[in-house]
Amino acid sequence: MTKQTSTWLELKNIEVWQNNYKLVEDLSMDLSLGEPTTILGPNGSGKSTLIKLIERRLHPVVKRGSQVRLFGQEIIHLQELRQRIGVLNSELDERIPATCPVREVILSGYFGSTRLGHGQRPSTQQCNQAARLLAQFELSELETRQYRQLSDGQKRRLLIARALIHQPEVLVLDEPARALDLRSCHQLLRVISSLCQDGVTVVQVTHRIETIVPEMKRVIFLKDGKVISQGSPTAMLTEKNLSNLFNTPLKLVEANGYRQAVPGEFKSADR
C-alpha cells in the first residue's frame, strides 16, 4: 500500500463547551494519513472531547480564527465520515445489546446502528467482508455467540473489526486496552501493530504508556485541553517529559520496543 502524507484532520484554535463547562480552549492539531499517532494525556486532558470532535458529536464555538477540517473539508456528511474514519470509542461497548450475535454486531457497522434493524439487509459483498474481518481477528468460530458471552478481549477485537468494516482510511482507538488483562492486552497490541504494518492510519488516544506500539511514528502530549508538545516517540517518551505530563515522578523500563512507566523517586517536597 502506498503511504500518503496528506492531512486528514486540522484543528485550529478550537474552543468547546458542554453544560456550561469549558472542555478545551485554543486546541490546535494536525494529523496526517500514513502516520500512526498516539495522543497521550492524563484523565481530564481533553482526549474524549477530541474524539467527539472527530466524530462530529461535539462542535466548537464559532469564532474568528477557529477551524475544524476533516479531509480538507469544513462540512462533511456523516455517512462519508463513517466510511473514511473508523472509531472505537469507550461508549460503544455499553450501547450494544447483550444478546446481539457477533455476526450482527459487525454487520451493523455498515448502518451505524448497534444491531440490524428492519430494512437493514447487508449485501453478499458486505457479508463476505464481515466474514474476512472475523477471520482476521480470530473470531469466526464465535459469530453466532451473543455479545455478552464474549471476554473483554474478544469484545475489543470485535469492535475494532466493526470499525474497519468500511475499510476506512483512518482508525481512531479510544483507550483500546481499557479493562483488559495482560494476555488480552498483549493480543490487542499485536493487532494494533499488524494494522499499522498493513498501512492503516491508526490514531490511539490513551493515558497508558505501555500500550504504545513500536510502529507509532508520532506522539502528541495533550494536557488541560491543549497540545503541549509533540514529536517522535524517541524524543517524547522520556522520563522527564512523561513526569511533567502526568505531574508525578516516573522511571521508564524499555524492552522489545515498548515502554513501561514505574514510580520514580519522590523528593521530600513531593511526599
What is the per-residue pLDDT across 163-188, written as a single tens digit (0 to 9) for each? Answer: 999 999 999 999 999 989 999 999 99
> Is the whole-model pTM more than 0.75?
yes
> For position 128, what pLDDT does the model report?
97
Over the stretch 72-128, which tens digit does the pLDDT of each residue have?
A: 998 888 888 989 999 998 788 899 999 999 999 999 999 989 899 888 999 999 999
The HSE-up count of residue 69 (CA atoms within 13 Å, CB side) is 16
Quote the CA–CA distance of 87 and 237 in Å, as a whole number.
Answer: 25
Local confidence band at 1 (pLDDT 50, 70, 90 cut-offs): very low
Over the stretch 112-151, which tens digit does the pLDDT of each residue have?
A: 898 998 889 999 999 999 999 999 999 999 999 999 999 9
Q: Are 180 and 153 in contact (CB under 8 A)?
A: yes
Read off the C-alpha cell for 119. Answer: 430494512
